[in-house]
Structure 1
Amino acid sequence: MQRSMPLYRTIAQHIKSEIQAGNFIEGETIPTEKSLSEQFDASRVTVRQAIDLLVTEGMLHKVQGSGTYVKEQAKVEHNIYELVSFTEEMTNLDKQPENKILNFQMIQSDARIQRKLQLDSNAPVYYIRRQRFIDDIPYVVEDTYMPVHLFPDLTYQVMVTSKYDYIENQKGFQIKESFQEVLPILPDSEIAELLNTTEQQPILKVKSYSVLSDDIPFEYSEVYFKSDEYRFTVRARRP
């Protein structure tokens, strides 16, 4: 007969689920031991075991005489004023990125993509969807459109590595700037699954198009970031 989960682990899993759902906010206290004891009809010792387990896992931390708090998780800090690739960003943080290609195909552009990339009607573009990992954790899902006439030799292997390295060092183009719109959204079921999150967990969606030194657009992307792994920062200066 299969043994049931120990009660302290059930309590720990409940607290963890509440944190992941955003019901217990980072930096705020969780319910007291007395409250959790009453909620689960458990002894204070059992509740303390559950809390200690989550402290060990790095999800909670105790402050003597104050309470138990949801620990603020370390996030990748992305400065939106710096135009760097995901690979460059992770390498600068001494992390090893991994790209998984989910879709790589040549398609006929629709009106929306034609406007973004300043293309003629039905001009072909590459459509690439990449799932991007750090330490086997999915951080980003990226949908990218690139004009075929600029990159006739673009390959699957290029997109497994660094797109910007290919553009600058293989094609000899100079990247000038990117225009970005950052939106908090609730993911659909497909994006939620790819990011290993839920449809109830807000994520960040960035729409961007980037141009070369001659102001010719070379890509349009819609990128989905896990909000519990990524933090966007802006450095503003008073004029």
Structure 2
Amino acid sequence: MKKLDMSRGAVPLYLQISAILKEKIIKKEYEYGDYIPSETELQKIFDVSRITARQAIQELEKDGMVQRARGKGTMVTYQKQIEEYLTSIRSFTNEMLEKNMQPGTKSAHISIEKADQHLAEIFQVEEGVPVYRLERIRTGDGIPIVDFHTYLSLKLNLPLNDNFYMGSLYEILEGKGCEPVRVTEKFDCMIPNEDIRRKLNIEIGQPVLRRIRIAHDINSEVVEYTIGYYRGDRYAYYIELKK
């Protein structure tokens, strides 16, 4: 640990300690879910009073970097927000790689179901026509980021093997000659139900960003309809407009 500046007129000790710990959190020396040193440990490390150690942790709490858990300690809750600029069609896998994060899939399940009126209108088919339903929880650096509910045309002739969908869906579509070339998207904010909260490991009342995408191929046929529920504390979107 860095030594504290004890000189006259220096920044208060608790702020110095807070800044040191914050730097370590941002550099992932203390990662999300890790526990930082306790008040007693900070006392020994920096040779300060219990009150100073407590104030340092309180500063981290104010900044949303940590959260106290009774009987367990103080856990790191900080996660760098993922910022995406909406300028081109990207798969989730490419979004993560562009942010130097490791994309992953916590779970995947594909099934076939009959299209209801809404799906029938999107895919321009008769109500009751079978479509694929693919549910996946995608991760960034091992942390759940988004719960995807994707519907695909049965014309794609996809395997009903969950393990087949642990990577990039767009790579699969490209392999089928159905690469999306045009998409329409809608964004809104909502309070998730218990199922989505459990999948994304978020607290009651924490909002999610819902992203609805309809993707078309070169023949203007719908190849993908996806509803994605993104952790609101992890994602932000930017749009650049020019006159």
The reply to whether TM is greater than 0.5 is yes
The residue type equivalent to 1:195 in the other structure is L
Structure 1 unaligned spans of 5+: 1-42, 61-70
Contact 1:126 1:147 in 2 (8 A): yes
Is 1:50 paired with 2:63? no
Q: Aligned in 2, Cα 1:186/1:148: closer, same or farther, shift over 3 Å?
A: same
| CA deviation profile, 1:12-31 (whole Å, cap 9, x unmatched) | xxxxxxxxxxxxxxxxxxxx
Of 97, 103, 106, the residue aligned with 1:100 is 106
Using the alignment, how far apart are the partners of 2:179 and 2:192 within structure 1? 34
Using the alignment, how far apart are the partners of 2:222 and 2:232 within structure 1? 28
| CA deviation profile, 1:23-53 (whole Å, cap 9, x unmatched) | xxxxxxxxxxxxxxxxxxxx85464143366
The residue type equivalent to 1:190 in the other structure is D
Using the alignment, how far apart are the partners of 1:171 and 1:188 within structure 2? 34
Paired residues for 1:55-204 under 5 Å: 59=65, 74-153=80-159, 155-168=161-174, 170-204=175-209
Q: Aligned in 2, Cα 1:102/1:160: closer, same or farther, shift over 3 Å?
A: closer
SS class of match (2:111): strand
State the aligned residue count: 185
Q: Aligned in 2, Cα 1:93/1:46: closer, same or farther, shift over 3 Å?
A: closer
Is 1:234 paired with 2:239? yes
Shift of the alpha carbon at 1:89? 1.1
The residue type equivalent to 2:154 in the other structure is V
- Cα RMSD (Å): 2.7
Q: Aligned in 2, Cα 1:230/1:53: closer, same or farther, shift over 3 Å?
A: closer
Shift of the alpha carbon at 1:145? 0.5
Q: Aligned in 2, Cα 1:174/1:105: closer, same or farther, shift over 3 Å?
A: closer
Of 207, 222, 227, the residue aligned with 2:227 is 222
SS class of match (2:156): coil
Q: Aligned in 2, Cα 1:193/1:106: closer, same or farther, shift over 3 Å?
A: same
TM-score when normalising by structure 1: 0.69
Structure 2 unaligned spans of 5+: 1-49, 67-76
SS class of match (1:82): coil
